[in-house]
A and B are shown apart, each in its own frame.
Chain A
Amino acid sequence: MYIYVIRRILLFIPMLIAVSFIVFMLAFIAPGDPLTGERIDPAVDAEVLDQRREALGINDPFYVQYFDWLGSVAKGELGNSINYNSRTVEGLILSRIDNTLYLSVFSLLFTIIVALPIGIYSARKPYSLLDYGATTFAFLGLAIPNFFAGLLLIYVFAFQLGWFPSQGSVSTVGLSGFDYFFDKIRHLILPGTTLGLASTAIYMRYIRSEMLDVMTSDFIRAVKAKGMGNRSVLYKHTLRNALIPVITLLGFEFGMLLSGAVITEAVFNYPGLGTLFLDSIINRDYPVIMGINLILSVTILVGNLLADICYAVVDPRIRYD
């Protein structure tokens, strides 16, 4: 088990280097730089801009820029934002990442809490009314794009019913303790649900089909032949096996959630990493773009690592290979 985990972590290092290269490469080959575009005063002399470029290091060859960047990344410095009054990128990211994390965790919890019981029920009573309802919901959840689902929820629950706020991450300043906490949660409900909708649909179907699959396997018949009751057959033997691929997927899911939040955050004007990312792209703020790209890639890698470790925890056949 330990050897397995250590091997996985060692594999993590070359992947990290490859990711850093790709992240840098993407920013490098993108056309334009922070000093091009309509935000720059056209009256400014081209020579001045060139001096500025020289000072920022934009004119250096690729490898020099890459290793400069890599060197500072290794020290935990992601450079300075060009847009936000030269604040450090890591500072900017840190100021936003907590909101995105709340959003991700909320939507992940939403997914699990909704998908698990409905998936199990659908498998226990396939082709029942509720199963058909869940199937319909799953197809809708998959077919409706995130931004549209978000707008729909805003229209119904914020404008028509007025139950939840449609914007931001917290309403009034000056709240503290529990009030602050509940206010945060209230702001999370609509974007969190939007973000979790598609994965809820997927997991619901996934759990259902995995459960049905395991239920027909030989060992379940053997468990029944031992005289085990329904509950034991279903929740101990079937569920435990059906969750193996699901838990693995959840690891990946967690990595994907942060990057998936970009559009949802934009729809709800939620001050997280996603809105920062969009702003930076619009302003060609490359240090921030690279910084966020790096963070997102790393979370995906960490998610994969988590998935691998979870897999080994729940499936003894993996542990001993």
Chain B
Amino acid sequence: MRGVYMKNEPLLEVNGLKTYITLENKKQAKAVDGVDFVIHKGETTALVGESGSGKSMTSMSIMRLIPEPSGKIVEGSIKLEGKELLKLSEKQMEKVRGNEIGMIFQDPHSSLNPVFTIGMQIAEPLRKHKKMKKKEAYKKAVELLVMAGLPNADQIVKMYPHQLSGGMVQRVVIAIAMSCDPKLIIADEPTTALDVTIQSQILGLMTELKDQTNSAVLMITHDIGVVSEAADKVMVMYGGQIVEKASVKELFRNPKHPYTIGLLASVPRIEVEQERLESIQGTVPPSHAFPKGCRFAPRCKHAIEACTKTVPELIESSNDHEVRCILYRGEETRPCDNHEQRNTN
């Protein structure tokens, strides 16, 4: 543990974030369209959603690595410990990336440069941010690899990425992300490309390292299983907006948004006998052609006429549980039966 900390101290505050992408046909895709959330120190927050829901764009916006000039953060605010990231110059932002915010990517093999040694790639941020000498940085690289659970680290530093397995490389990527003691780690689908057996090891490692260093994790995933295993809080994203926010326990026990309910129902459950797996009809609308009202309305079983008029606000339906659905306005009813009962049909 690195000193005493207040669990509720906010680390990252994102407010009204809008990131638009200009497509080749000049249309604007609202990849992230008004996202607000807070990540507290020591927490793991999961950002869940289908592909195309804008979750990766949210993380790239925090890193300010949106591909320019087609992509642009149009408005909003991203504060890391009160420091406004969107106002930093590119040079200042370089000091945040890899130093205050570490990042872990989906496919470990393609997130390392194939022509440089592992040691060089871990040493690189240390030399830049911590001004370490070459020798010192390599020594630290070995320590980091050991910490990431790679025993023969002094040999691995001399190796190239293609000589290691996927799970080993992801440990290397985690070591790189952790190298400069970041306050926040953004993990973009960190286990998607890995074998199931390796997945929970990697998640376990991340949680362990997070607790050791008192950092916070923003875990981006489409895998509900990963959420239940590793996260404290969940945000469900749909069509560039957050549609539901709650603690993991609360969300699994009491999902509110019809989309979340559908998402949970589409997870196979071993204890329930099912003929067919539930699925949500239709696909995520493309972000340049969102429907006028609620973005989920065209796929929603409970949609009423009012849903197609205006985009609903995110409302706090109960303690620390927010949902963007018109059906919860001022009432405490669920739009449908308990989804677990439905599963047994």
Contacts and interface: CB of A to CB of B under 8 A. Distances in A.
A219 B111 contact: yes
Contacts of A226: 97-98, 124-125, 128, 176
A229 interface: yes
Interface residues of A, number: 23
B95 A227 contact: yes
B288 interface: no
A39 interface: no
A221 B64 CA distance: 11
Interface residues of B, number: 30
Contacts of B110: 217-219
Given A222-B103, A224-B65, A227-B125, A241 B98 contact: no
B99 A315 contact: no
A237 B125 CA distance: 14
B83 interface: no
A63 interface: no
A225 B94 contact: no
Interface stretch (B112-120, B211-219, B241-249): B112-120
Contact of B128 (A217, A222, A228, A317): A228
Residue among B95, B98, B99, B173 with max Cβ neighbours from chain A (10 Å): B98
B115 A228 contact: no
Interface string A190-228: 000000000000000000000000001111011111111
Interface string A217-255: 111011111111100100001001100100000000000
A27 B66 CA distance: 62
Nearest to A230: B90
B96 interface: yes
Nearest to B64: A224
Contacts of B113: 219, 223, 237, 240-241
B63 interface: yes
A23 interface: no
Given A219-B112, A219-B113, A317-B114, A225 B162 contact: no
28 contacts: A217-B110, A218-B107, A219-B114, A221-B65, A222-B112, A225-B63, A225-B97, A225-B98, A225-B105, A226-B128, A226-B176, A227-B94, A227-B125, A227-B128, A228-B124, A228-B125, A229-B91, A229-B94, A229-B128, A232-B124, A237-B113, A240-B113, A240-B116, A315-B114, A316-B162, A317-B160, A320-B162, A320-B163
Interface of B: 63, 65, 67, 91, 94-99, 102-103, 105, 107, 110-116, 124-125, 128-129, 160, 162-163, 173, 176
